Amino acid sequence: MAVVDELQKARQTAEEVAAEEHKFEDGFTFRTVLGLLFVAFVMLPGSIYMGLVAGVGLGAAAEWVTIVLFAEVMRRSLQPLKRQEIYMLYYIAASLTAMGAGAYGLSGGPLQWKIWDQFFVQSAPAAPIAKEIPAWAVPAPDSEALRLRTFFHPEWALPLLVLLITEILGRASWLSLGYLMFRATSDVERLPFPLAPVAASGALALAEAGRREESWRWGVFSTGAVIGMGFGVFYVGIPVFTGVLFGNAVTLIPIPFLDLTQNVENALPTAIVGVSINLGEVLVGFVLPYQILIGAAISSVLTYVVANPILYRAGLIPSWQPNSPALQTKLSADLDFWLAIIVGLQLAVAVIGVMMVIKTVREFRQARNLHARGATPPPGRGDPPLWIPIGVWFVSVIAYIMLCRWLVPDFPLWIVGVFGLLWSPLNSYVSARMIGITGHGVSVPFLKEVAVISSGYPKVDIWYAPLPLYDYGWAAQRFREVELTGTKFTSIFKAEVAMFFVILVASFLFWSFFWSASPIPSTLFPYAQKMWPYYAQMEAVWKQINRPDSAMRDLVLGALNIPRIGAGFIAGLALFWVFNTFKLPILLFYGLVGGVGQLPHFTLPRLLGAWLGHRYFKKRFGEENWLRYAPVLLAGFFCGMGLVGMLGIALALVAKSVSVLPF
């Protein structure tokens, strides 16, 4: 029971800033519907434009600007927003303005992918395979629909129908499986989800300010916002303003990190050395458990700084090339060695998690205390009967399988079934557990590529098929945030239905407008014009790796080495046995496992934040107070950064719209 007790203590710490004892209320009201329309028809076109022009989205700016604007309007109308409504505004803004392909500068709903597809099918790198790209994905490169630059054409009917079906199935599958992962990891296992109180804290602080209540939350939130704005001027404001105005961003602080990998490669070849200067990483360390960050920092340094040069000299990282930056070096090291180890460790975490769930349920069933362990959800939370999400998930997976059978009839159906019915729920559970314990999820890259290559399927259409290969572990934390704000789960379900229809309309209208006004990319959209040809070259290479003559084929197949996966699996189980047997901190174990695959650039600043919190701030404010302050401070920091980002975007757009007259 030592493991359970330790996780319980971490969960109680995470709940210090929450309001679980308050009754649950509906957050999806008429006022949040107005917020939904505001984000969709005001924020969304700005996000699309910023992505094409500067390669950045609105991100946190859209979330916090929407919240602050509506909270202030409602406060002056003497109808302050409830914390449930504030969180729903946060949820809606984050969902609608998220960048689906951040490196491409794409956002703006589901039509963003079709804009990319129309460019790719007409690009020079895609010429060898353009005729093989299926008509249900994008019209042919010589089609009238692409020549006229319009979605209002019969040739777009089938691609848009497939897109509509996948959007419906995607929402149904993540809501249902994400809810089941939440019930397993939060209600039954009682995992702490250390980052969930951050969003909840922001909603609580703004709600109290709207009611003019005297509270420590608003003071701490304001302090974080001031820090965020001060740092954001240099980290976000100046780069965004100069990037939009001049085409080249001026960065005073290295983004996303200071990379020293090339500086040390003579002494330590393949060692990945650097550090993030983002103050937000330090503040994240205030929130995450200290032992987890110690473990993550140790394992990330041992793997990518200490072990990499040893492996390289042993000939186990042959694909690395001198003068490679950090991300390229990480890709080489992962493909050649670490990826298989990471997969093995994740499988060990999955087995450990299942064993702990079975043991916990059995012990509390014997103690006749299943209600306390989540077998029965708290009253008023809006939980559906379990058979409903199970049924929705199963039906959505079967629909995915049938859709893939229709779109790619020659691809082995059993692979699609394994992805949807076995791997995806297993991967989602592992990720949900790691997020619930460490705040950081896990992923298995190139699994789809390995499966396609191994199947011997040579056609291009498989890369456009909606294979049910997903990780919905993140959704467990989303439901935990909803719970902490006292928002009924039915609010999320209603919001998702409303967002589905609104985002489809808004995405269609705005992308149609931008595309009809000018080709994408073009000189009007400098980021897309500069970067998209490069990404098209990369995508053309990846879309041909299942061909027998592909140079990438053997590299990808070798990444998931079965004996090495087994070694990682055994090492993970053995390490857990050592920690459990000798009563070592179990959070340290999960930190060690989760740190494999993370760059030291981020784990070290977070460890610094945790050390400052542990050694200084806890003594300065008292341990109990500091544990309550930290998530609220972090929420305020993100708010301040977002406001500065939005201000920088606004100033840059105003400056670009002003022409200098010759008289």
The DSSP annotation for 263-321 comes to TSTTTSTT---EE---HHHHHHHHHS-HHHHHHHHHHHHIIIIIIHHHHHHTTS-TT--
Dist CA 374 CA 370 (whole Å) = 7
Q: Counting beta carbons within 10 angstroms of the beta carbon of residue 249, is it exposed (0 to 12), middle (13 to 18) or buried (19 or more)?
A: middle
Whether residue 461 contacts residue 215, with contact meaning beta carbons closer than 8 Å, is answered with no
pLDDT at 335: 82
Nearest to 442 by CA among 569, 597, 284: 597
Predicted structure pTM score: 0.79
Number of H helices, E strands in the chain: 29, 2
DSSP for 585-626, written as a single string: -HHHHHHHHHHTTS-HHHHHHHHHHHHHIIIIIHHHH-HHHH
And the tokens for 16?
A: 């210090």
CA 193 to chain centre: 15
> Helix crossing, 489-517 with 30-38: angle to 10°?
20
Buried b (16+ CB within 10 A) or exposed e, 165-191: ebbebbbbbbbbbbbbbbbbbbbbbbb
Q: Counting beta carbons within 10 angstroms of the beta carbon of residue 472, is it exposed (0 to 12), middle (13 to 18) or buried (19 or more)?
A: buried
Dist CA 30 CA 135 (whole Å) = 41
User: Which portions of the chain are predicted below pLDDT 50?
Assistant: 1, 19-21, 368, 370-371, 659-663
Pairing of strands 258-259, 274-275: antiparallel
Per-state percent for the chain, helix, strand, coil, to nearest 5:
70, 0, 30
> What H or E segment, with its residue span, contains residue 259?
strand 258-259
pLDDT at 313: 94
Q: Omega of the bond prior to 256 within 30 degrees of 0, cis?
A: yes
And the tokens for 592?
A: 């060690």
| Residue reference for tokens 């709600």 | 207
- Give the chain's largest Cα–Cα span: 88
pLDDT at 449: 81
Whether residue 81 contacts residue 31, with contact meaning beta carbons closer than 8 Å, is answered with yes
pLDDT at 660: 46
Angle at 511 between CA 510 and CA 515, to 5 degrees: 120
Dist CA 652 CA 263 (whole Å) = 35
DSSP for 81-128, written as a single string: PPHHHHHHHHHHHHHHS--TBGGGTB-SSTHHHHHHHHHHHHSSTTTT
Distances (CA, A) of 336 to 59, 300, 340, 341, 360: 34, 17, 9, 11, 38
pLDDT at 662: 47
Dist CA 81 CA 69 (whole Å) = 11
Residue 274 φ then ψ, to 5°: 165, 180
pLDDT at 638: 81
And the tokens for 14?
A: 């995470």
Whether residue 120 contacts residue 536, with contact meaning beta carbons closer than 8 Å, is answered with yes
Q: Identify the bridge partners of residue 106 per DSSP, sorted by sequence position.
A: 101
Whether residue 251 contacts residue 662, with contact meaning beta carbons closer than 8 Å, is answered with no
Dist CA 300 CA 308 (whole Å) = 11
Q: Counting beta carbons within 10 angstroms of the beta carbon of residue 636, is it exposed (0 to 12), middle (13 to 18) or buried (19 or more)?
A: buried
pLDDT at 659: 47
And the tokens for 554?
A: 């053997």
Whether residue 53 contacts residue 244, with contact meaning beta carbons closer than 8 Å, is answered with yes
The single-letter DSSP state of residue 41 is I
